[in-house]
């Protein structure tokens, strides 16, 4: 994982967080984050994780820096599921990662992914296929920035339409109408794609299998028959919900039920390791 580069980035992150706000809460977050950096530099990764989780819990909203450090610490501890979950959260639009943090998170996520595939091949567990161009496209068009682009184009089209009388005297005939037409088409296409991606994500949100080996059963409940094992760190889709259980689907179509506490929803609350339901290997 190249710890030296990570710790250098963490020191920059602590300075950035300190500048982010002057409130008492911001000071507490910075203090917890700094404790995490100090512990990580000393090689005490478990203490670092505890401090980073405290900072994440106290900080309103999402921090790519904290998610990145948490994911990297968990990767070094061998917790591939939690590492994948936090590194992916660091790359989400809500986290607003800088270019440096995003590049480092992508690099570390690639290393964790290799470990996931090796572990799955050794144990025979199921795991998700690599992301395709369709996955990347849906992630891009479903981002808040894409939504704002659609909204801005729509408002611009409306503004040009309202000012068409004034603009018409200064522009060649038909130009204003053509501009409005192009803006409307862009608004409809971009807005339609964004709406489709957001709806797809809300209907079947993504989650990460957190335990090293996650047993997936034919129904909600530990008494139900185990169908297959999912390798920790794999991406799944949530297609149904029960009392404490989630019905999940792998990209290849395999479905079954798993404990809710053993899955980390990328758009949901951050899981706490103490609450995880550990899968059992047969």
153 with 232, same domain: the answer is no
In this prediction, residue 95 carries a pLDDT of 84
Task: Quote the CA–CA distance of 254 and 128 in Å, as a whole number.
Answer: 10
Q: Considering 203, 227, 243, which residue would you say is the last residue of a domain?
A: 203
Dig out the tokens for 48 from the structure: 């670092």
In this prediction, residue 21 carries a pLDDT of 46
Lowest mean pLDDT among 6-10, 21-25, 252-256: 6-10
**What CATH number has the domain bearing residue 216?**
2.30.30.40
199 with 223, same domain: the answer is no
Domains in the chain: how many in total? 3
Task: Quote the CA–CA distance of 251 and 14 in Å, as a whole number.
Answer: 38
Backbone angles phi, psi at 43, to 5 degrees: 85, 5
Report which of 127, 126, 116 is spatially closest to residue 75, judged by C-alpha positions: 116
Say whether pLDDT at 273 is over 70. no
**pLDDT averaged over every residue in the chain:** 81
168 with 101, same domain: the answer is no
79 with 118, same domain: the answer is yes
212 with 229, same domain: the answer is yes
91 with 142, same domain: the answer is no
195 with 143, same domain: the answer is yes
In angstroms, how far is CA 108 from the centroid of its own chain? 14
Q: For residue 278, what pLDDT band results from cuts at 50, 70 and 90?
A: very low
Segments forming the whole domain that contains residue 100: 3-123
Q: Considering 170, 203, 236, which residue would you say is the last residue of a domain?
A: 203
Q: For residue 170, what pLDDT band results from cuts at 50, 70 and 90?
A: low
Q: Considering 161, 179, 203, which residue would you say is the last residue of a domain?
A: 203
In this prediction, residue 25 carries a pLDDT of 63
Q: For residue 167, what pLDDT band results from cuts at 50, 70 and 90?
A: low
28 with 106, same domain: the answer is yes
In this prediction, residue 157 carries a pLDDT of 85
Average pLDDT over residues 194-218: 83
Tokens 């040009």, residue?
A: 160
75 with 140, same domain: the answer is no
The strands making up 235-241's β-sheet, listed across from edge to edge, are 226-231, 213-217, 255-259, 245-249, 235-241, 206-209, 263-265
Average pLDDT over residues 133-146: 70
Answer yes or no: is 282 within a domain.
no
Say whether pLDDT at 271 is over 90. no
């Amino acid at each position: 994982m190249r710890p030296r580069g990570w710790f250098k980035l963490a020191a920059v992150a602590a300075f950035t967080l300190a500048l982010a706000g002057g409130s008492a809460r911001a000071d507490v977050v910075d203090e917890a984050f700094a404790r995490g950096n100090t512990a990580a530099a000393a090689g005490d990764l478990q203490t670092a994780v505890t401090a980073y989780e405290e900072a994440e819990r106290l900080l309103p909203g999402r921090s790519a820096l904290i998610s990145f450090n948490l994911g990297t610490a968990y990767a070094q501890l061998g917790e591939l599921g939690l590492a994948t979950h936090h590194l992916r959260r660091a790359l989400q639009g809500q986290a607003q990662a800088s270019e440096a943090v995003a590049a480092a998170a992508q690099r570390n996520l690639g290393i964790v992914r290799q470990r996931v595939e090796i572990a799955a091949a050794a144990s025979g567990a199921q795991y998700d296929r690599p992301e395709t161009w369709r996955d990347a496209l849906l992630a891009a068009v479903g981002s808040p920035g894409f939504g704002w682009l659609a909204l801005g184009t729509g408002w611009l089209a409306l503004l040009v339409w309202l000012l068409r009388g004034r603009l018409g005297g200064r522009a060649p005939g038909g130009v204003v109408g053509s501009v409005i037409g192009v803006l409307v088409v862009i608004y409809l296409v971009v807005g339609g794609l964004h709406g489709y991606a957001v709806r797809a994500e809300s209907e079947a949100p993504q989650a990460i299998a957190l335990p090293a080996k996650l047993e997936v059963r034919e129904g909600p409940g530990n008494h139900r028959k185990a169908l297959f094992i999912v390798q920790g760190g794999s991406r799944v889709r949530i297609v149904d919900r029960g009392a404490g259980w989630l019905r999940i689907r792998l990209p290849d179509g395999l479905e079954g039920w798993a404990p809710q506490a053993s899955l980390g929803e990328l758009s949901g609350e951050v899981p706490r390791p103490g609450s995880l339901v550990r899968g059992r290997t047969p």
